[in-house]
Amino acid sequence: MNLIKKMRLTLVLLLTMAMLLVGAPVALGATEDQIEEVRSLLEQYHLSKPEDTALTNKEMEDMVDSLHDPYTKYFDDDQWNSFNSSLEQTFVGVGIVMIEERGVVYVEDVIPDSPAEKAGILPGDELVGADAKSFKGKTTLEIQSELRGKEGTVVNLSVSRGGKTLKFKVTRKSVQLPVVTTKMLDKGVGYLALSGFTLEAGKVFKQKLEELEKNGLTSLVLDLRDNGGGYVNAAQEIAGLFVKEGILAHMRDREGVDQPLDISGSTKPYSVVVLVNGNSASASELLSGALQDYGVAKLVGTKTYGKGVVQSLIPVKSGGMLKVTIQEYYTPTGRKVDKVGLTPDLVVNGVAEQLIGAYRLAGGQKLTVTSGKGVLTINGVRMAQPGAAWQENNVWYVNLKLASALIGAKLTYNSKSHTYTLTKGTQVQTFTTNDSHLRIKEGQTNIDVRLLKKWFAGFTYSAGTDTIKLMAG
């Protein structure tokens, strides 16, 4: 390709789509022209600098697969539309999130402004059936299949609430998943969850953060768990809210040339704790790595996914779209991310335990945890957690690891003596695995809440028919 054509293509890339950090399926049945054009684009732009002799496959899928790069993909028009919808977190449906516990499927959450919310469906409702078909014995995936359909079609949904069966007429439509959700966990401690780096993520993030600040924010818990990435410029915008001047990352191209991404913004007067896990990838790692390197934030959770390469979207003139890996990135201090990941400052396992650990690191003290119908709510933040607490013969048991995090105690196990120890300050409580106050369920150890109340001052609980509220602080 001559220099003029190369400059024109680069301009199209910058004006049409920003760089991406995500993945999707490969298209099949491409034409000869498309295959030849994609071959040419891969030769010119792919990070590995493939030669023409290495891309001799006649089928698009085989040619792309020969790069051994799971992030470089070709999309036909339908696949691109589907991919773009997933990137922007939109789907056609009724707008509920489901959870299963003890063979019963409940509404875990209702998406704001969705058909389900407008119809009056509430979190905690038991899903009974749809269009005269019973959901008894069906899994969440089977029920999800029943609720899917074309936009504009109607589903008659039945739920059980408070022992009564209610029926709702719900019209399916395109639903936008919330990109940012916020909550004040306690006085001064704010929580902000970012589910994806969409085109509007930077703008929405700033707006929601300002709302928390107006409510007296003195420390922030930023939740990037299960955030698989998105647009680089969204991560750049968000980083600029916390870093006055610096770089987001070092971007190295196929020639080894470093093209650092600049950050220009402001700093915050409060501390930041970032929640990450093994599904925090790409743009999540880009942002987390920068905030960690600049000392802006502490990371809490488990090691991140380790996707440190960047893709760009190139429109294929003969039809379709090519997502091709063009760079590898390193954190501001030069740490490698690809196939390595980021290690948290505080390693914590368990979804609920991670949030509690981040909350305490951010200065939070009082905790209110409610468990029931497959959902665990921690200071107003809801999460799927079946079996976190349950009752047997009118006695409530709570997961031992969750209980230790809740009361702020260190939990250790001695395999020789088969004993557990809970240590909080100078207080030490030791008990054996065959203690009558313990129950093993689905491989997890659970403890009688009455024992916790007896042992630890400040821990209380109140139980209902199918929910329990645990309080500590």
Is residue 195 among the annotated active site residues? no
Number of domains the chain contains:
4
Q: What is the CATH number of the domain that holds 344?
A: 3.90.226.10
Range of the domain at 282: 180-308+329-352
Residue 23 confidence (pLDDT) above 80 = no
Tell me the CA distances in angstroms from 2 to 12, 14, 150, one per residue in order.
16, 19, 47
Structure tokens at 213: 């600040």
pLDDT-derived band at 347 (thresholds 50, 70, 90) equals very high
Among the listed residues 307, 323, 373, 401, the single catalytic one is 307
pLDDT-derived band at 5 (thresholds 50, 70, 90) equals very low
pLDDT tens per residue across span 411-455: 999 999 999 999 999 999 999 999 999 999 989 999 999 999 999
Instruction: Tell which residue, 87, 90, 82, has the closest CA to residue 114.
Output: 90
Among 66, 87, 108, the domain-final residue is 87
Residue 26 has what DSSP assignment? P
What is the rounded distance in angstroms from the CA atom of residue 32 to the CA atom of residue 143? 42
Does residue 102 share a domain with residue 80?
no
Does residue 338 share a domain with residue 221?
yes
Does residue 417 share a domain with residue 463?
yes
Does residue 132 share a domain with residue 231?
no
Instruction: Answer yes or no: is 357 within a domain.
Output: no
Does residue 336 share a domain with residue 201?
yes
Residue by residue, DSSP assigns 253-308 as -TT--B-PEEEE----SSEEEEEE-TT--THHHHHHHHHHHTTSEEEEES------
What integer pLDDT is reported at residue 164 of this predicted model?
Answer: 93
What integer pLDDT is reported at residue 17 of this predicted model?
Answer: 35
Does residue 338 share a domain with residue 201?
yes
pLDDT-derived band at 21 (thresholds 50, 70, 90) equals low
pLDDT tens per residue across span 214-253: 999 999 999 999 999 999 999 999 999 999 999 999 999 9
Residue 360 has what DSSP assignment? H
Is residue 293 among the annotated active site residues? yes
Longest distance between any two alpha carbons in the chain, whole Å: 79
* HSE-CB of 141 using CA atoms within 13 angstroms: 0
What integer pLDDT is reported at residue 336 of this predicted model?
Answer: 98
pLDDT-derived band at 85 (thresholds 50, 70, 90) equals confident
What is the rounded distance in angstroms from the CA atom of residue 398 to the CA atom of residue 416? 25
pLDDT-derived band at 115 (thresholds 50, 70, 90) equals very high
Does residue 237 share a domain with residue 97?
no
Distance of CA 39 to the CA centre of its chain: 34
What is the rounded distance in angstroms from the CA atom of residue 112 to the CA atom of residue 17? 28
Instruction: Answer yes or no: is 444 within a domain.
Output: yes
Q: Which has the minimum average pLDDT: 6-10, 57-61, 118-122, 154-158?
A: 6-10
Is residue 345 among the annotated active site residues? no
Residue 458 confidence (pLDDT) above 60 = yes
Does residue 286 share a domain with residue 254?
yes
Among 297, 321, 352, the domain-final residue is 352
pLDDT tens per residue across span 161-200: 988 999 999 999 999 889 999 999 999 999 999 999 999 9
Q: What is the CATH number of the domain that holds 152?
A: 2.30.42.10
What is the rounded distance in angstroms from the CA atom of residue 254 to the CA atom of residue 310? 12
Amino acid at position 181, single letter: T
Residue 165's H or E segment, with its range, is: strand 164-171
What is the rounded distance in angstroms from the CA atom of residue 95 to the CA atom of residue 92? 8
What integer pLDDT is reported at residue 29 of this predicted model?
Answer: 58
Among the listed residues 293, 373, 401, 404, the single catalytic one is 293
pLDDT-derived band at 14 (thresholds 50, 70, 90) equals very low
Does residue 152 share a domain with residue 78?
no
Does residue 61 share a domain with residue 29?
yes
Instruction: Tell which residue, 274, 248, 272, 275, has the closest CA to residue 259.
Output: 248
Among the listed residues 114, 158, 219, 282, the single catalytic one is 282
